[in-house]
Structure 1
C-alpha cells in the first residue's frame, strides 16, 4: 500500500473555534476515502496538533480531531513557523503533502522550502502564484529539484477547471489568443442584481453591498471584493500559466469600485463600519455607470481580460452585449477562452465556484491527483 502523510494548515474564522468552513469540509471528505492518507499535522491560527514522532502514531482523526485535541495522545504546540512544519513533514513516513487552506503570504513564500524537501503542495492560496514573479518561478523550479508536485487549481475559478484546461490547450499545441471573463462570484452577484441581464432593478448599489455583506456573500470587509485585487490576482495566475509574464497584480490597470474619498479608511472594524455608513453617499457614481450602459443598449459587468498577442491585461467595469453569457451572470463565474483552434467561438467554462464543501471538493480532487502521480 502506498503511504502518504499530509498536513492541513487552515485558519479559523474570526473567534469561532475550528479550522474554517473549507477546512472542516475537507476533513470530512478525507474521512470518506476508502484508503485515506495519514493526517500527521493539523495547524490552525492558534494551535498545531502533531502525530508524535518517531512512530507518528496515533494519527490525527479526520472527523474527531477536536476531541483528539484534548487528549494527551497528540503532541500540541502553538502555531509553528513554516520551516518547522517542513522539517516535521520531511521526516514523516511516506510521501508528504502540504495542504495549505490559508491565504497567508508567509506560508506561500515558504513553498520552495517544502518543495525542495520533496513535500508536495496542494492549495487554493493565491498569494504564492500572484505575488512577485520571482516567487512563482521559484515555486516550480523548487518542485523540479525536490521531485515534488504543485497543484493549485482552486486559485482561479473555484472548482471550475480553468488552469487545467489552459494547460491542456497549451500542451496539445493550441494557441491562446484572448481570455475574458468574470472571476469574482461576489461582484458577479452584485452587478447581476444591480443591473439584471433580463430585467430592471431600482436597488441602490450601497444597499446591495450591505445585504451581500450581511449574508456572507462578500468578505467581512467588502472592500476586499470591491477593490478588484482578488480578481487581479486570478488574472495574474492565468497569465503566468499561459506564458504571459506579469510581474505583479499591480502591474496592469485594475478599476476599484471603492470611492476614492473612502479609499484611505483603515481596515479595522471601525473603518469597515465607517465605509458602510458612508457608501450610500456615492451611489450616484454607480447609477451613472448603469445609465451609460442602458443608453447603449448594453449591460454593466465587472470583467477581466488578457490579450495574449499584446500582453494587455485589464480589470474593470465594462458594457457587454445583452444576451451574451456574461450579461446573464448573477453570482456565477465565467471564463471565455479564444484560441486558434476554437476560432471565434470560444471555449466557455461557467458555474459557481465557492462555498465550503465545493472548495473542499476541489482541494480533495487536487490531493487525489497528487497521490496518484506520486505512486
Structure 2
C-alpha cells in the first residue's frame, strides 16, 4: 500500500490561492497539513493530522480557528514539521522568498520533496544549486522547479530529457519575460506602427498589473537573467550568479539610484518620461535596418557566452511576433533538422528513463 502524501503550502497570494483552488478540485488530492504566509501559519494537529486544512482558499482555511498559529514559522520549523508526518511530504513554495529557498536542502535531507516556482534558490549562489540537488539525492526526495523558467512551457524537462539521452546542447535563445515581450510588441509591433511613448506603455502595464509592483524589477533584466542562469546550469555551465555576465538594464542610469520604496517607485514613474527620446532612438535604429527591437537572452554553450539585452530581429521571426508570451529556441547536436529514427529513439529513451526512475 502506497504511503500517504502530505503537503505543506507556503505562499497564499495570487499564485497560492489559485493553486489551492485547483487542488481543491482534484479527486483524491493530497492532504494539506501546513499552510503558511508571511504573518500567519496553519498546522494540522499531530499525531492524527486531523482535521486537515481545506484545499480551497486561504479565507476558507482560516475559518478553522483551532488550526491557526499566530506567528509565521521559520523555514527550519516548517521542515521539521513536514519531516515528521507519517508518510511522504512535499513542500509547495508559491513565494519568491530567498530565505525559504536557501532552506531547501534542509527539507530535502529530511526526505521532504520540493515543488516550487521560486527562482531564487536556483539562480543565486552556485553552491546553493549544488547543495539542493545533492540534498535531494541524500534524502531520497525530489525537486521540481519547472515553473521557474518559461511559465508552463516544458523547457527544463525538455532540456533534461535531451541531456539524459546523450544529446549535446549547443545554443539556447529566447524571450523569458512576458512583461518585456508585451512592452516591446506594443512599443514596436512587427506589423504596423506605434507612436506611444515608452514611459506611457510602462505606466499602463503597471496599472494593469502586468509588471511587478515596482516595474524596475522587470526593466533591470535581473529576473530574466535568473531564468537564463537556471537554463545555463541545467546544461552544465557553472554560472556563479545572474550578475556574472552582461545584463542590459532598461532603467536610465540617472534613475538607477532611486530607493526601492513606494516613494522611489513614484519618483521613477514620474521621471521616466524624460528619457523617452532614448528609447525612440533605439526604435529608429532598428527601423533603419528594416527590423524590430526585442529583449532577448542567449546562451552559447561551447564558448560559455551568456548575454541578456536588446537585439534587432527580423519582423517575420517568431520572437518578433510574440505578444506578451515567452519563447525558447534550443539547438542541439542531434536536432539539426528533420526527424528520423534517432529523434524517435530519443523520445523512447527519455520515457524509459522516467519509468526506471519511478520504479527505483
- TM-score bracket, normalised by the shorter chain, equals over 0.9
**Which of 147, 151, 170 is the aligned partner of 2:144?**
151
The CA RMSD over aligned residues, in Å, is 1.7
The 1:256/1:95 distance shift into structure 2, 3 A limit, reads same
- Separation in 1 of the partners of 2:331 and 2:15? 33
- Separation in 1 of the partners of 2:166 and 2:266? 51
CA contact (8 A) 1:224 1:230 kept: yes
1:113 matched to 2:112: no
The 1:65/1:195 distance shift into structure 2, 3 A limit, reads closer
Q: SS of 2:173's equivalent?
A: strand
TM-score normalised to the size of structure 2?
0.92
**Which of 25, 32, 45 is the aligned partner of 2:25?**
32
CA contact (8 A) 1:8 1:98 kept: yes
1:79 matched to 2:72: yes
The gaps in structure 2 that reach 5 residues or longer are: 340-353
CA contact (8 A) 2:54 2:60 kept: no
Q: Which residue of 1 aligns with 2:323?
A: 330
* Structural mapping, 1:223-302, within 5 Å: 223-302=216-295
**Which of 27, 51, 55 is the aligned partner of 1:58?**
51
CA contact (8 A) 2:94 2:118 kept: yes
Q: SS of 2:298's equivalent?
A: strand
Q: SS of 2:243's equivalent?
A: helix
Q: Which aligned runs of 4 or more in structure 1 are off by greater than 6 angstroms?
A: none
- Separation in 2 of the partners of 1:23 and 1:132? 26
1:233 to partner: Cα distance: 0.2
Deviation digits for residues 226-249 of structure 1 (CA, Å, limit 9, x no counterpart): 000000000000000011110100
- Separation in 2 of the partners of 1:211 and 1:299? 21
1:325 to partner: Cα distance: 0.6
Q: SS of 2:35's equivalent?
A: strand
Q: Which residue of 2 aligns with 1:132?
A: 125
- Give the number of aligned pairs: 343
- Separation in 1 of the partners of 2:64 and 2:118? 31
Deviation digits for residues 132-178 of structure 1 (CA, Å, limit 9, x no counterpart): 10000000000000000000000000000000000111111111111
- Separation in 2 of the partners of 1:125 and 1:67? 25
Q: SS of 1:251's equivalent?
A: coil
- Separation in 2 of the partners of 1:73 and 1:326? 52
The 1:373/1:257 distance shift into structure 2, 3 A limit, reads same
1:373 to partner: Cα distance: 4.6
CA contact (8 A) 1:338 1:344 kept: no
1:76 to partner: Cα distance: 1.7
1:25 to partner: Cα distance: 1.1
Q: Which residue of 2 aligns with 1:6?
A: 7
Q: SS of 1:83's equivalent?
A: helix
1:198 to partner: Cα distance: 1.2
1:330 to partner: Cα distance: 1.6
The 1:179/1:67 distance shift into structure 2, 3 A limit, reads closer
1:77 to partner: Cα distance: 3.4
Q: Which residue of 2 aligns with 1:318?
A: 311
TM-score normalised to the size of structure 1?
0.89
1:221 to partner: Cα distance: 0.4
Q: Which residue of 2 aligns with 1:362?
A: none
- Separation in 2 of the partners of 1:373 and 1:32? 26
Q: SS of 2:217's equivalent?
A: helix
- Separation in 2 of the partners of 1:138 and 1:128? 10
The 1:132/1:64 distance shift into structure 2, 3 A limit, reads closer
The 1:288/1:344 distance shift into structure 2, 3 A limit, reads farther
